A and B are shown apart, each in its own frame.
Chain A
Amino acid sequence: MAFLIDCPNCGRRNPYEFRFGGECKEAPGPDADLNTWCEYLYFNENMSGFQQEWWYHNMGCGDWVKVRRNTVTHEITED
């Protein structure tokens, strides 16, 4: 992985310091039905292009960082 991740605490860091945490998704409310929950739990957008995703800085500050990354080019942009 050739890109770097901007950690708000640690600065620009090598992505190997992070653990990928998946697409940013909004959890359904407590009253949502089973279908909605299954959609949320078991399906992903699998974007080819920019997506919002979570990275956990496990070899750094220990914070979760939200990143907007192009899954094809690894380009990272501010929202």
Chain B
Amino acid sequence: MSGRLPDSPTQIFDPKKPVKIHFRGRSITAFEGDTVASALLAAGVDTFSRSFKYHRRRAPACLSGQCSRCTMNVDGRMHIKTCQTPVREGMVVEPQGPIAFDPAGAADAFSWAMPTGFYYKMFYKPQWFWKLVKEVIRAMPGNMAKVKALPAKAHFDSINLSPDLLVIGGGLAGMEAAITAADAGVRVVIVEADPQLGGFEAFQAEAGFRRTQASISRLAAFPNITLLTGTRVTAIYPDGLAVCMQESPSQSAQDCVERSYLVRAGATVIATGAGSMPMVFAHNDRPGIILPEAAQRMVHLWGIKPKGRVLLAGGDDHIGEVALALYKQGVDVVGVVDFREAGLRKDLQSALADHGIPVWSSYTLTDTRGRRRVTSATVTSIDGLQSKRVRCDTIVASSGRYPRHKLLGQIGTRMLYDAALNFYLPEQLPANYEAAGRLLGLEDPNAIMRQGAHAAINALKHLGVDTNTAKVAAVEPADEAPMPVRLQPVIEDVQLKSKTFVCYCHDVSAKNIEQAIDEGFDKIETCKRYTTATQGACQGGMCEANFAHLLARKRPALSARVLPTTRPPVTSMSLGAMAVGYHDHPQVSPLYHTQLAHGGNSLRMGSWIRMVDFGDHEAESLAVHSTAGICDVSMFGKFRVFGPDAEKLLNRIMTRNIEKLNGNSTFYYTACNEEGVLVDDGMALKMGEHDYFVTTTAARAAVTEEWLARWCREENWQVNVVNVTDTKAGISLAGPMAREILSKLTEADISGEALPFQKWMHMEVAGVKAIVSRVGFVGELNYELFCPASQGPYLWDAIMAAGKPLGLVPFGIECLNICRLEKGHVLPGIDTDSFTNLFEASMGWALDRNKTETVGKAMLDLTTHQAIKERVIAFSIEGRSPVTEGALVVDGTQQLGRVTSIIYSPLLKKTIGFALVAPHDNWVEGGTVTFWYDSGREAQASFAKPPFYDPKGQRIRM
């Protein structure tokens, strides 16, 4: 069965369920439960990526999402950590750039030409040189993906959770915390980055595995625990928010490729554990040099034997335990290097000796060789006197534990270096946070579990839960002290060569760092910025401990060994998964499909999809003036405002006095904000006692509800506002033939006497109950019909059928724009901006000076006497003009304002429009308006007084 080890209880893949993935054109059989990286390793893939600067071969070092040497392009998505991505049938995996033969690999030989601060030094002067080479240099880095548009099928989603307690990390400590809290009855979410619970213990040999199984089955009994595996926490905030990312949460890419969870918890336990520090020695980055956790995961989780002869190196007993465990799985262990004098624990020593595995105590690694993969290691005694070459195909090396503290920095908790332990411990956490487990340096499983429970109890106290219950109170806090870490001794001259990497992401060597320190960058924050160490994709996860130790060694006097600052995101995440909470739902009118069927061309405008035209907006406008046209106005905001205090509310938001509205008159209103700025206009109809039908501009439809609620939020008024925008279709029928068309469809008397301009009535049109009003927007005889949305398409078709023989055409908003500009109607928000007050919009006439309770009136009253800052003017140009909206209005070199609306009117054979401008002497009859457009062209127009068409308004009164 495809080279895997015999089935074992610890494995998490299912050898009976094969899954096919594609890698560089070949098909690889993996199994359900594999990650992409485990599948590739099992298939013998050696090189996963190329390094950033020198294009050196790189392969997974941690298999736990820390080193980011395994990133590839997965299903078209860039920089995916393949060791954290479950396989999915048909997945297409591609390395990012050439991996087998990389011509840029020559860079490795020229590393001397790329000193520390390369960018700063090489291209500082002359400047022209930098301009010349920057494109070449920027294209150079290894493992950099070309940005491609995501495949359209990529789907992201986002889920909000608000538990009482969030536990970050599903190891022994995290599980114990979750169980303790759940037992006390609170709702718990537990997040684990791996696909399985258990953390560190899950990939230890069977004893650890049995312990995790016991915890997992206890945890499973609680319905109030929500378990998120395969989920990484990328950010936490002091107020309790955690942002989590789940890669491939579903077996089908169609469902979702990445999901974000926004978890808002009352309290949080951080139990992110500890990882291994890489050892520093020359050429420590070759493929095949891995951390202990990677070797353990390969063997215990996925049944993959580390390749060939395996050499282990480290400075704690753990490395000896790993060596034994690997040996038991049939791995060819060629030796264990221990840099401590005392060497391994006696029992480990004798067990290894029993199996004939040599142990070199007081030795360390100094160098490696190998091209595609490591082939040998140089093992040197600590005194530097003895040295030998050991042939090996895999090196498992680590200089000790290192806390995964990244999240703590984000809530303002610093990690303090404990010189006795050689370990970083967190200072006091904020009240709503607790830390637990191996993160605190603990190693004994029982201590870890007790301490996890204790963290949960503290969290429960913070939540105000009674912790004096028998079960919970029985837990004693762990009193075990953290175990010290032995620092790796360094033999300066043989170990710290130029290719001794500290930061693997950016190829920063120990030499580079020493050079930076010598140049004066000897504080961690400046040294980090100068060398770019710890700033790569791993975010310092692999390198910052060694980086800090190196600094401390060079500058013992400085209080070194503070860690660099941490920021979100801790691990890479897609913009798609971050943006997904915000869904874009454009609105469509009930007449949308009907209009498409009539040849409408649609366009997204604001929140609506509207019809721009039906082929030729100029022809449409001529038809409106000569025969008739029909247009969808369903996107007007439509509201029913009713109740005994309806007038009070409407009078507050409208600048005119609604009390003056009676009978079947239509009522045009304007609305201002408190600054007196014009924000809206529309129509009000009185449907009954204290009952109004109010329309607003399309752009304001979405906020009117909020606006109306805003202006009675502190009153106890009896008034109801119902948004009926979506429940009613609106049709505008305009043109000299409009009455004739309408009369074919209704029994009602619609003569000029019965339904004159600015009046409305209920009537049945083609059997549909409609509110029909006479308005003047387009400058011709104009009816506006509002009917139930569901009957809109039917009514539209009925009007079209009746009007076709008389020359009726559908028209879109471009034509509407021509008609309203011909009539000189200013559109709030288009021709005005958020500073234009009612006077400046030339609508001062709409302000009822006698009212007291009008929003904005106080400011308008107080500023009446002030000179205006800007105003809306109209202009016209003979013939067609190339000037467009946004063109500047200028006087010499001075900018006066901008063109807000401009369009060619085929009826007038002129280009007409509005501009929002500062006051100027030219704004008089016969004055000239000068435009600056197309980055430098000038054009002239004449100032005009609208309306351009039918100034007496006879046609709208027909």
Contacts and interface: CB of A to CB of B under 8 A. Distances in A.
B241 A56 contact: no
B858 A28 contact: yes
Interface string B838-881: 00000000000000100000110011000000000000000000
B675 A41 contact: yes
Given A14-B162, A74-B239, A64 B713 contact: yes
A64 B710 contact: yes
A56 B859 contact: no
Contact of B710 (A16, A21, A32): A21
Contacts of B863: 34
Contacts of A50: none
A62 B706 contact: yes
B674 A33 contact: no
A2 B713 contact: no
B76 interface: no
Contact of B674 (A4, A27, A64): A27
A37 B241 CA distance: 38
A58 interface: yes
B238 interface: yes
Given A1-B239, A1-B241, A58 B706 contact: yes
Interface string A53-67: 010101000111000
A74 to B, nearest CB: 4
A44 interface: no
A37 B705 CA distance: 26
Contacts of A1: 239, 241, 264
A73 B239 contact: yes
A4 B862 CA distance: 41
A27 B711 CA distance: 12
B852 A30 contact: yes
Given A27-B674, A73-B238, A32 B858 contact: yes
Interface residues of A, number: 25
Interface string B557-587: 0000000000000000000000001000000
B536 to A, nearest CB: 29
B706, B713, B858: most-surrounded residue (chain A CB, <10 A): B858
Contacts, number: 52
B160 interface: yes
Nearest to B706: A56
Contacts of B160: 14, 16
A28 B858 CA distance: 9
Contacts of B264: 1-4, 14
Interface string A20-62: 0100000110101110010001000000000000101010001
Contacts of A62: 705-706, 709
Contacts of B709: 56, 62-64
Interface in B98-127: none
B706 A2 contact: no
B713 A54 contact: yes
Interface in B211-252: 237-241
A27 B162 CA distance: 37
A16 B239 contact: no
Nearest to A65: B713
B166 to A, nearest CB: 10
Contacts of A54: 713
Contacts of A41: 674-675, 859
B240 A2 contact: yes
Contact of A4 (B162, B581, B706, B710): B162
Contact of A30 (B241, B713, B858): B858
A9 B579 CA distance: 29
Given A27-B674, A56-B709, A2 B239 contact: yes
B639 to A, nearest CB: 12
A2 to B, nearest CB: 3
A73 to B, nearest CB: 6
Contacts of A56: 706, 709-710
Interface of A: 1-4, 12, 14, 16, 19, 21, 27-28, 30, 32-34, 37, 41, 54, 56, 58, 62-64, 73-74
Shortest 7 CB-CB distances between A and B: which pairs?
A: A2-B241, A64-B713, A2-B239, A2-B240, A74-B239, A2-B264, A34-B862
26 contacts: A2-B239, A2-B240, A2-B241, A2-B264, A2-B265, A3-B264, A4-B162, A14-B160, A14-B162, A28-B858, A30-B852, A30-B858, A34-B862, A34-B863, A37-B858, A37-B862, A41-B674, A41-B675, A41-B859, A54-B713, A56-B710, A58-B706, A63-B713, A64-B709, A73-B239, A74-B239
